[in-house]
Amino acid sequence: QIYNTQNSPQENMNISLSPITSPNTSLLLKPSIHWYYSNPGGSWNPFSYRDSEKLEAAYSTRSSGSDEVQLQVSTDGGRYDVNMAARQRIPVYWDGLASAIRRCSWFYRGNNDIMQPYNEDKAKILEEHYATAVKLKTFPMRVELGNGETVIINSQTMMVQYTHLAAASEQNAPRLGKR
């Protein structure tokens, strides 16, 4: 059996092994999911690998329709609680603002070369198109995300996002993306 080694984003020390299934000789790997929380400045930081696994377990239980739904998950050594229904990270021992959380599988290189997660709706669109491109071997594939954002999936390992400015003739430099 073939295995895929996947690192969680920005955590090179934590490696998980997942079996690869290859129907019709197309290798479509299950996406590596990691959870992030927002900072007041608008950037996103990853939860620890352990917290991310707890959040994913709670999400999976909730998604499967189980009666044992865990709506609140303790993170950061008990300093924060995550409300899964509201998608918020809330400080436990002090007054502070809640921050948004996000389930992430697709990332783009943002400012200062830091990988930032796509929102969940865009990640779902990218995953659907990626799966189609891998199964049908139709690379490159152009994906319109709305608001002037276009992603070109060139291969199983290469993607580029173009973000258009207000003026039709101007365009930002393309951003590299990662699954």
pLDDT of residue 80: 98
Cα separation, 61 vs 118, in Å, equals: 23
pLDDT of residue 19: 40
Give the predicted TM-score (pTM) of the model.
Answer: 0.72
Q: CB count, 10 Å around CB of 134?
A: 18
pLDDT of residue 32: 87
What does each of the 179 residues of the chain score in pLDDT, given as a tens digit?
A: 232 334 444 443 333 334 434 444 457 888 889 999 999 888 899 999 999 999 999 998 876 666 555 689 999 999 999 999 999 999 999 999 999 999 999 988 877 788 889 999 999 999 999 999 999 989 999 999 888 889 999 888 888 888 764 444 445 667 666 67
- Comparing CA positions, the residue from 47, 39, 45, 36 lying closest to residue 76 is 47
Beta bridge partners of 19: 3
Task: Give Cα separations from 150 to 56, 102, 124, 172, 177 (angstroms).
Answer: 29, 22, 15, 12, 12
> If you search the block for the tokens 């709706």, which residue do you land on?
121
